[in-house]
Structure 1
Amino acid sequence: MPPTMLRPALTIARYTLLEALRSRLLWLFILAACGGAGLAGFLQQLALTESAAVQTALLAATLRLAGVFLLATFVVTSMAREAADKGLELLLALPMPRAAYLLGKLLGYAVLAGVPAVLFGLLVALVAPAAHSALWAASLLGELWIVAAFSLLCAASLQQALPALAATGGFYVLARTVGSLQLLAHGPLTGHSWPQQAMTGAIDVLALLLPRLDDFTRTEWLLYASGGWQALAGVAAQTIIYAGLLASCALCDFYRRNI
């Protein structure tokens, strides 16, 4: 990145982090961690067997969903607020390329995603082995980076908070479930009529286009110590590919718009 782009990008990333501090996002992450721990502890008391496994699974699932929801909501509402306050036009009137603004935002959100990844990873380490908790936290960071990049793309393209949040939620649910949908589509009970074949083909196309977020942040890594460096390498590869692709799409849309 040339110096003329690096300095404004770092400045925008810094102010993005300051905005997160002023909006009390860090406190929301802490409250989510406390709420997840309390809920998992309560449901552990209701489990008749495997209470420790139940607590770990519920805690991991709750923290993952809380991290994704809070980060996506902050990205979308931050971009929508900036557009409504005409802050975007003011920034783009300065002598800097548009790419510096967008990359600065992405950098700020990427650093911000490290807060829940580290915080939740430390909390999970209280109920699971430290090495596999670290693997889980690193995978959560990659998942949050992809969600942040897609949220930024939706916020920049749709320019409205509610449609952007709905699109981000739909993307996340599909990316988490497309592997299961593909297994069902190719199962032995699937018929051979043309509508069912068309549906199977559509699911296969989705599986090719979407990141396999069901391979990220897997709870069985904590329960059965089944994760390893191969799993982390796959997560890292998907994160680099999809975060870069989503950032490129956002840049293309940003440059073609008349602001």
Structure 2
Amino acid sequence: MPAALTLARFVLLEARRTGLPWLVLAALAAGIGLAGFVSQLALTESAALQAGVLAAYFRLCAIFLTAMFVVTSIVRETADKGTELLLSLPISSTEYYLGKLAGFAACGTAIAAVFSLALLLWASPQGVAAWFVSLALETTLVAGLSLFFVIGLGQVVPALAATAGLYLLARLMGTIQTISRGPLSDDTGIMQRLASWAVDGVALLLPALDAATRTAWLLYAPPDAGEFVRVLASLLLYGGLTTAAGLFDLYRRNL
């Protein structure tokens, strides 16, 4: 798909011209400063504490910057009638959508790479490599979610809110399931059972983000092959489903 590749290249050029690399570098500098501050607070194992704090910080920054860039890019293009112009050319909706998604995914992967290289100062290369691959796929999934929501909702705040809400729900679903089955829950009550079944049902519809891009991979040991493959397969599966949903919605709107 030459047209899709051209669109992906234009997305990368837009990222450079809109100052996304400077935002990434600013987040990186702030993270390094945060690591220096944390090292002054820790009495022992300061390197492990720094790695843990930075991993959480870099993950949130990568997700936020990716989602923000996707949403603002599409909203700006729609306001300038750029989307209508592109779709009026001999470019199919599939090429347009996949080209945009490929460009946004490449931006997310580049952000993940920058943050992962910084983490090499505090963690083993094997752990950082696993963390990077997982974060790259996670940012790709977030790019797909953001693209789906911004095309459907058409505005910055609703699209970002929907993306953030779904992402946080997927991230916290493991904790929610644990609470619903905790020792304080009443397993004999019918309402408690219904609530637990409802939580499990929602968990089946969401990617297992609580198992992806884990800080423990940096602090202790990289994931074993089986666990890592399951995490990557889950991210790829839901990324494909999100892409299919976005294409369906785009075709429906064009009709």
TM-score where L is the length of structure 2: 0.96
Select which of 230, 244, 251 maps to 1:234.
230
1:250 counterpart residue number: 246
> Which of 226-235 and 109-118 deviates more?
226-235
Deviations 1:86-145 (A, max 9, x none): 111111111121111000001111111121121111111111111111111111111111
* Contact 1:76-1:161 within 8 A present in 2 as well: yes
AA at the equivalent of 1:169: A
Deviations 1:20-42 (A, max 9, x none): 00011011111111111110220
2:191 counterpart residue number: 195
1:151 counterpart residue number: 146
Q: Distance in 2 between matches of 1:194 and 1:76?
A: 42
Select which of 204, 214, 221 maps to 1:218.
214
Select which of 13, 36, 41 maps to 2:8.
13
AA at the equivalent of 2:17: R
* Contact 2:63-2:139 within 8 A present in 1 as well: yes
2:81 counterpart residue number: 86
* Contact 2:126-2:222 within 8 A present in 1 as well: no
1:3 counterpart residue number: none
* Contact 2:68-2:160 within 8 A present in 1 as well: yes
2:53 counterpart residue number: 58
> Which of 173-182 and 189-198 deviates more?
189-198
> Which of 41-50 and 144-153 deviates more?
41-50
* Contact 1:109-1:148 within 8 A present in 2 as well: yes
Q: Distance in 1 between matches of 2:217 and 2:40?
A: 23
Deviations 1:167-224 (A, max 9, x none): 0110111111101111111122212434333322221111101001111111111111
| 2:22 is aligned with 1:34 | no
Q: Distance in 1 between matches of 2:104 and 2:231?
A: 19
Q: Distance in 1 between matches of 2:19 and 2:227?
A: 34
Structure 1 residue 226 displacement after superposition: 4.3
Q: Secondary structure at the match of 2:109?
A: helix
* Contact 1:142-1:235 within 8 A present in 2 as well: no
Query: Gaps spanning 5+ residues in structure 1: where?
Result: 1-5
Q: Distance in 2 between matches of 1:41 and 1:198?
A: 48
* Contact 2:109-2:140 within 8 A present in 1 as well: no
Q: Distance in 2 between matches of 1:57 and 1:122?
A: 15
Please tell me the root mean square deviation across aligned C-alpha atoms, in Å. Answer: 1.3
Q: Secondary structure at the match of 2:210?
A: helix
Structure 1 residue 231 displacement after superposition: 3.0
Q: Distance in 1 between matches of 2:158 and 2:191?
A: 30
Q: Distance in 1 between matches of 2:222 and 2:74?
A: 39
| 2:179 is aligned with 1:179 | no
Please identify runs of 4+ aligned residues in structure 1 that moved more than 3 A.
Answer: 192-195
Q: Distance in 2 between matches of 1:110 and 1:68?
A: 11
1:47 counterpart residue number: 42
AA at the equivalent of 2:252: R
| 2:206 is aligned with 1:206 | no
Q: Distance in 2 between matches of 1:110 and 1:247?
A: 12
Q: Secondary structure at the match of 1:210?
A: coil
Q: Secondary structure at the match of 1:225?
A: coil
> Which of 44-53 and 92-101 deviates more?
44-53
| 2:140 is aligned with 1:136 | no
> Which of 223-232 and 24-33 deviates more?
223-232
2:110 counterpart residue number: 115
